Amino acid sequence: MKVQKFRAKTSMQALAQVKEALGEEAVILSSKRVKEGSSWVYEITAAIDIDPPLQDCKVREPEGFSTLLREIEHIKEMLTRLDGSLRPKSSFYYHLLAQEIPPRVLSLFSNNGHLEPESFLKLLPQHISRKVGLCEFPRVQFFVGQGGVGKTTSAVKLAARYMYQGHRIALISLDTVRIGAREQIERFAHILEIPLFFVRKDHELVKTIAELEQYDYILIDTPALGAFFPPTRLLRLLQGLNEAGLHLVIRAPESPSVAFSLLEKLKGLTLVSLILTHSESLTLGGPLFWILSPHVPPVSFISTGERVPEDFERATSRRLLGLLLRNLELERDKCTKT
């Protein structure tokens, strides 16, 4: 990633310099007024280019030395961690920690806490590229999550997307208890002319899906995760279904602790992707860094508003980068040494 600073008398002139030097794909990292000589000017820090993930180079090891080499690497790793634990972490590490980036995610960028802005920005695109969702999903897809996160609208938005691509789509709702749930999904299904089926008893689900063999995709809206609809019930519903997967629908501004707790509860289930909703309400990108954790499924779609089906876009590396860097302060001079 190329990071560059631009100064001009006005913010518009500085933005024009960014556009001329880095193009339309530039991402604004920060903007502020600084004193230059006897006058004040606008300074914009911008970045461009997401470096592709480094390809692993497989080297053929001499026969008989593989075990020894693995032991040597293990010892080197232990020594590196020991050395890091004995020295104080960098001020930039604590600066990111103060902006609510989870410690377990920061360890992906440096296992000893010695982290600088340049190395952070270089590694960030590589981690993001591993979290861009798959293009293909199972035929049967469940939308799960807490109450009010947008499971129903996400299911309808994806159904509309499939339909516009020429696929035959059916919707199933298991949420038959919540007040207004039936009316909400019925209204969407009617407007988009998508077949809708209600399943009130769990044992009827497999039979209902079997009767919908003419459809390319079956999208299933579920009640909010909780005492009435626990993960164990989800597990029972998945039994007997061959091509089925789960989308975890979660608010982009959700706290990392809640997100990790949800993922722990769903451990063992087939999570195929994350769908981030309420992205327009995200004020700081730091807490969202939880999505980079190794055990977290990739992000497939991002909901950008309440309009159905318009406010729904495929997750890309550039889009995720923008969300993660939203209002994140990366200026070195903001960090105080510890």
**Taking the domains of the chain in order of start, what are their residue ranges?**
2-48, 70-126, 140-315
Tell me, what's the pLDDT at 114? 82
Mean pLDDT of 186-192: 91
Tell me, what's the pLDDT at 81? 55
Tell me, what's the pLDDT at 257? 94
**Whether residue 293 has pLDDT greater than 90:** yes
Tell me, what's the pLDDT at 336? 47
**Whether residue 56 has pLDDT greater than 50:** no
**Whether residue 88 has pLDDT greater than 80:** no
**Whether residue 335 has pLDDT greater than 70:** no
**Whether residue 83 has pLDDT greater than 60:** no
- 40: number of Cβ within 10 Å: 11
Q: Which CATH architecture has domain 140-315?
A: 3-Layer(aba) Sandwich (3.40)
| DSSP conformation letters of 30-92 | EEEEEEETTEEEEEEEEEE--PPPPPP---PPPTT-HHHHHHHHHHHHHHHHHHHHHSPPPHH
Q: Given pLDDT bands bounded at 50, 70 and 90, which one contains residue 338?
A: very low
Edge-to-edge strands, sheet with 312-314: 196-198, 169-173, 217-221, 140-144, 244-251, 271-277, 299-303, 312-314
**Whether residue 85 has pLDDT greater than 70:** no
**Whether residue 246 has pLDDT greater than 90:** yes
**Whether residue 171 has pLDDT greater than 50:** yes
What is the pTM assigned to this prediction?
0.72
- 109: number of Cβ within 10 Å: 22
Tell me, what's the pLDDT at 128? 95
Of 289, 302, 272, nearest in space to 120 by CA: 289
In angstroms, rounded to a whole number, what is the distance separating the alpha carbons of residues 68 and 288?
Answer: 40
181 or 120: whose pLDDT is higher? 120
Poorest-confidence range of 31-45, 192-206, 289-303? 31-45
In angstroms, rounded to a whole number, what is the distance separating the alpha carbons of residues 248 and 234?
Answer: 12
Tell me, what's the pLDDT at 73? 72
Tell me, what's the pLDDT at 60? 54
Q: Given pLDDT bands bounded at 50, 70 and 90, which one contains residue 133?
A: confident
Q: What average pLDDT does the chain have? A: 85
Dihedrals phi, psi of 147, to nearest 5 degrees: -70, 140
Q: Hunting for tokens 């038959």 — which residue is that?
A: 176
Mean pLDDT of 56-63: 50
Q: Given pLDDT bands bounded at 50, 70 and 90, which one contains residue 167?
A: very high
What percentage of the chain reaches a pLDDT higher than 90?
53
